[in-house]
């Protein structure tokens, strides 16, 4: 409940405040968002599996974001930033899909 409220408030704030992303953060923000979404769906699946843990969720959320951003940063430093970004997005996308499939099975039994 509280996280859902937080999400809505954050969305509203982002829509109405029109913040500009600092130039230094621009390559990392999309990847960080994808990583956070992965953590969210992972958490939802854990809830449905009955193995959810608040601490695990918070840590996995933060570590996902940081690691994803770090990988992109590393890729930028090595000159393969865009390729590595694509790789990270593919991997996270696969994880999101499998998590969503699991959630679907729990909720709809299908």
Size of the site for another protein (CB under 8 A): 46
Give exposure, 50-73, as e/b (b: 16+ Cβ within 10 Å). Answer: eeeeeeebeebbeebbeebbebbe
In terms of CB distance, is 62 or 74 closer to another protein? Answer: 62
Give exposure, 21-34, as e/b (b: 16+ Cβ within 10 Å). Answer: eeeeeebbeebbeb
Compute the distance between CA of residue 68 and CA of residue 45 in angstroms, rounded to an integer.
Answer: 21
Return the residue of 78, 80, 90, 105 that touches another protein, per CB under 8 A: 105
**Contact pattern from residue 18 through residue 57 relative to another protein, giving x for each residue in contact according to CB under 8 A and a dash for the rest:** xxxx----x--xx-xx--xx--x------xxxx-x-xx-x
Task: Give least dist CB 63 to another protein, A.
Answer: 12
The residue ranges that bind another protein (CB under 8 A) are: 1-15, 18-21, 26, 29-30, 32-33, 36-37, 40, 47-50, 52, 54-55, 57-58, 61-62, 82, 98, 101-102, 105-107, 109
């Amino acid at each position: 409940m509280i996280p859902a409220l937080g999400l809505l408030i954050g969305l509203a704030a982002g829509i109405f405040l029109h913040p500009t992303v600092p130039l230094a953060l621009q390559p990392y923000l999309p990847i960080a968002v994808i990583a956070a979404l992965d953590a969210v769906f992972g958490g939802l699946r854990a809830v449905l599996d009955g193995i959810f843990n608040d601490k695990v969720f918070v840590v996995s959320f933060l570590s996902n974001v940081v690691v994803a951003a770090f990988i992109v940063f590393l890729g930028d430093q090595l000159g393969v930033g865009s390729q590595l970004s694509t790789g990270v997005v593919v991997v996270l996308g696969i994880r999101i899909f499998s998590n969503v499939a699991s959630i679907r099975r729990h909720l709809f039994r299908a």
